[in-house]
Amino acid sequence: MGASFRNINQIKALAGLDKLTISPNLIDELKNDLNLEFEELKLDEKGDYSVEEITENIFKNEMKNNIMASEKLKEGIEKFILDTNELIDHI
């Protein structure tokens, strides 16, 4: 699933992906884009991708061995919690 796009060219490059999370401002840019050509596709039309099965143990080991990934995951979850609480306070 594609996410955290910074511009519409990144979105266009992943055209064909099953799911994308796109911010409202980038959706507006796509709507207003007069050049809706997708020249730099990163996915092929066959959809022939090999996917390695990741078990829970493999995931936990990978996270344990990647300090940056585990710290960023923790940071992201904490930020989502703060944002959720802020949203609740505004409602």
- Per-residue pLDDT at 78 exceeds 60: yes
Residues 19-64 pLDDT 10s? 788 899 998 998 888 777 766 556 665 655 555 678 899 888 988 8
**Secondary structure (DSSP) of 3-59:** ---SSHHHHHHTTT-S-B---HHHHHHHHH-S----TT-SS-TT---------HHHH
d(CA 68, CA 1): 21
Residues 14-28 pLDDT 10s? 877 777 888 999 989
